[in-house]
Amino acid sequence: MSKSVLVINCGSSSIKFALLLEEQNFRIHGLAENLGTENARIKGVTVGNEPVDIHIPFADHKKALEVGLERLANYKPDAIGHRVVHGGSLTKAELITNEIIEKIREATPLAPLHNPAHLIGIEATKRLFPDLPQVAVFDTAFHQTMPAHAYRYALPKFLYTEYGVRRYGFHGTSHAYVSDRGSELAGSFKQGGWLTAHLGNGSSTCAVWNGQSVDTSMGLTPLEGVVMGTRSGDVDPSLHSFLAANLGWDIYKIDKMLNKESGLLGLSDNLSNDMRTLIEASEQGNEDATLAIEVFCYRLAKSLAALSCGLPRIDGLFFTGGIGENSAYIREKTMAYLPHFGFNLDKDANSSLKRGTEGRIDNGTGPQIWVVPTDEEGRIAKETHSVVENEVEQATAKKSEPEAALA
């Protein structure tokens, strides 16, 4: 029985960790950031909401994990759950074994920034907590229920069969939690057709039917889809050859531009990738900021409209993520592009909803509109607990088989 779960999220330059104690009633959490630089540090909150701030200059992932986890070791987690961005064809959370580690390694070409960092996190926690069960929870797993007509690209078949080139989708842990929680709030748990919009520095949308993902905006990588903080989202695939032929750019320069210099940052002429900054600048008359916001909302609405094709009916829409949970302005602008779906936003309910809280923001007619704060840590802990419980049950059953035979 895993009463406390340590959740690890190793990113390319940062690590988030949280210890969820006694059915999530209490959490210790921290963030190791600026790894590899002089300003590397761990910030967080420990028992009694006491703040923690540890300077660890030039620390890499291994060092940061060692420092952070040594402080958590006193609280003795019962299990460890790792967020893993890309699980390839794996369809559910898995107990970490050498075989699963190899599958994560095999998926590295599909997530070259993230999966190597996840493997470092797994290695560090196995060393520090060798006797604890550890579980990998995959961002891509929730979307493995998509039908082939939603996940296949119109490319030569061998690229799919031999190299795994297909649409995988991401933010699955968030879309799964929000669609479950939102449909529960709406009185139809895991029933009906729902659209989810996870909006942050990385953003994606998802269509969910009866609790299962049927389509999503991200694809082979997290670059496909809607406009994001620094990522372009969808562009004409011929853009690469245009830039190579006319500007002499190589594939690495193009990839860096699309992933790190585009999106809101690029549209705003390098003003910011932070929506709050752009809204403030737009109010002061900055035309680039105004256009960035407009493109973001239009492309978001366009994506939601497209994903609706995967649903027999639309029961409602859930907003989540830093922008989705906190910006009434972005929610209102996005809904203004979707009147033909019968959505009726209650502007007063939308603007008066306290930031970061869940609540219904439609006027009671048409499909429902909700704000549902995501809880990826809670979802990872829940899936980790479920996998560990299942393993214990299977081990108990196997142990009892010989005893039954002797009886």
Report the candidate in 65, 107, 71, 69 with the shortest Cα–Cα distance to residue 87: 107
Q: What's this model's pTM, rounded to 2 decimal places?
A: 0.90
Positions of E strands within 144-296: 193-198, 204-209, 212-216
How far is 48 from 101, CA to CA, in rounded Å? 36
Active site residue 139: yes
How far is 93 from 386, CA to CA, in rounded Å? 9
Q: Which domains does the chain have, with CATH numbers?
A: 5-138+380-397 (3.30.420.40), 189-374 (3.30.420.40)
Q: What is the pLDDT along the chain (407 residues), one digit of tens a residue?
A: 457 899 999 877 789 889 887 655 678 888 998 888 899 999 988 777 788 899 999 998 888 888 887 777 677 789 999 999 999 888 899 999 999 999 999 998 888 878 998 998 899 889 888 999 999 999 999 999 999 999 999 999 999 999 999 999 999 999 999 999 999 999 999 999 999 999 999 999 999 999 999 999 999 999 999 999 999 999 999 999 999 999 999 999 999 999 999 999 999 999 999 999 999 999 999 999 999 999 999 999 999 999 999 999 999 999 999 999 999 999 999 999 999 999 999 999 999 999 989 999 999 999 999 999 999 999 999 999 999 999 888 877 776 665 555 55
Instruction: Give 3-state DSSP helix, strand, coil % of the chain, rounded to 5.
Output: 45, 20, 35
In the set 53, 139, 180, 375, the catalytic residue is 139
Both tokens assigned to 62? 């291994």
How far is 341 from 207, CA to CA, in rounded Å? 15
- For 365-394, how does the pLDDT look when each residue is reduced to its tens digit (9 = 90+)? 999 999 999 999 999 999 999 999 998 888
